């Protein structure tokens, strides 16, 4: 089982990773971050992506969809932003956020690796 720090280090090792965060979407606060920098403030990204998650959860409720969100993908000109909602004991209300350089990343592999990180994460 991995703790938050280990999980974030694993996420940062994904090809093309720019930064990663573990976020509580009930508060919008990042519980941990790695990477980022001048071009990507992970605390601002955590708060902004909290709004994305809340909006999608609300939309699914309004549509009466009886399903779970695995991940949310935002594609920019030069980046992918992946939001992976966590499931399991102690993980309710949390998501992993990963920003990737589009030219260096393999999106399918990044999604696969995030799923694996989620499975090993112990909150």
Percent of the chain residues past pLDDT 90, beyond the cut: 86
Mean pLDDT of 25-52: 93
Q: Which pLDDT does position 123 carry in this prediction?
A: 78
- Local structure of 10: helix, strand or coil: helix
Provide, rounded to the nearest whole percent, the portion of the chain with pLDDT above 70. 98
- Global model pTM greater than 0.95: no
Specify the pLDDT at position 38. 84
Q: What angle do CA 31, 34, 38 make, to 5 degrees?
A: 110
Higher pLDDT: 80 or 122? It is: 80
Query: Is the pLDDT at 122 greater than 90, yes or no?
Result: no
Query: What does the pLDDT read at residue 22?
Result: 96
> How far is it, in rounded angstroms, from Cα 16 to Cα 1?
24
Residue 1 pLDDT: 59
Q: At what angle do helices 107-120 and 4-12 cross, to 10 degrees?
A: 170
CA dihedral 72, 106, 19, 99 (to 10 degrees): -30
3-29 residue pLDDT tens: 999 999 999 999 999 999 999 999 999
Q: What is the mean pLDDT of residues 57-76?
A: 95
User: Among 31, 27, 19, 18, which residue's Cα sits nearest to residue 121?
Assistant: 31
């Amino acid at each position: 089982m991995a703790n938050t720090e280990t999980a974030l280090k694993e996420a940062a090792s994904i090809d093309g990773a720019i930064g990663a965060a573990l976020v509580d979407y009930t508060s919008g606060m990042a519980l941990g971050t790695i990477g980022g920098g001048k071009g990507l403030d992970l605390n601002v990204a955590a708060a902004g992506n909290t709004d994305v998650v809340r909006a999608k959860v609300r939309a699914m409720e309004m549509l009466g969809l009886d399903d779970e969100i695995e991940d949310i993908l935002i594609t920019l000109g030069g980046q992918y932003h992946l939001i992976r909602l966590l499931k399991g004991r102690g993980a309710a209300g949390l998501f992993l956020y990963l920003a990737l350089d589009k030219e260096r990343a393999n999106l399918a592999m990044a999604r696969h690796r995030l799923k694996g990180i989620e499975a090993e994460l112990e909150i």
